[in-house]
Amino acid sequence: MACAVHTRVMSHPQIHGTSQSTGNTVVSAIITVVAIICVALRFYVRVHMKAGVGADDWWILAGLLSFLLTAGLLLWSTLADCISLPNSPANTFQAPMQTRSPSA
């Protein structure tokens, strides 16, 4: 029975892949917005409370920029995968058949 369920799920890879990529995109967008708000609030508090912006604040900003670059690349790769044509070379690879040599 487990094989029948597995076969049924695998028979619609495009529907499953689209659902998963949409979920990943939504979660990434939420995390990105929260990260930007947190870093912006940190700089706002540091400047307005006259605590001064220190090295740790600049490292956090560098981390945020690195995260934004990574999130942008992941979003781009997700969108590029969704847009790719079904018969594109990336989707038509087939592994070579392995043959057994006769045992002597």
- Is 32 within a domain? yes
Q: What was the pLDDT predicted at 88?
A: 59
Give the pLDDT confidence score for residue 85 in this predicted structure: 54
Q: Is residue 10 part of a domain?
A: no
Could you list the mean pLDDT of each consecutive 10-residue stretch along the chain, which spans 104 residues? 40 51 81 94 92 92 94 80 60 68 66
Q: Is 97 inside a domain boundary?
A: no
In a domain, 68, yes or no: yes
Residue 16 domain-assigned (yes or no): no
**Does the residue 5 lie in any domain?**
no
Residue 43, domain member (yes or no): yes
pLDDT of residue 25: 78
Distances 101 to 23, 71, 104 between C-alpha atoms, Å: 46, 48, 9
pTM: 0.57
Q: Are the C-beta atoms of residues 64 and 39 closer than 8 Å to each other?
A: yes
Domain that holds residue 62: 22-82
**String of b and e for 46-84 (b: at least 16 CB within 10 Å)?**
eeeeeeeeeeebeebeeebeebeeebeeebeebeeeeee
Number of domains in the chain: 1
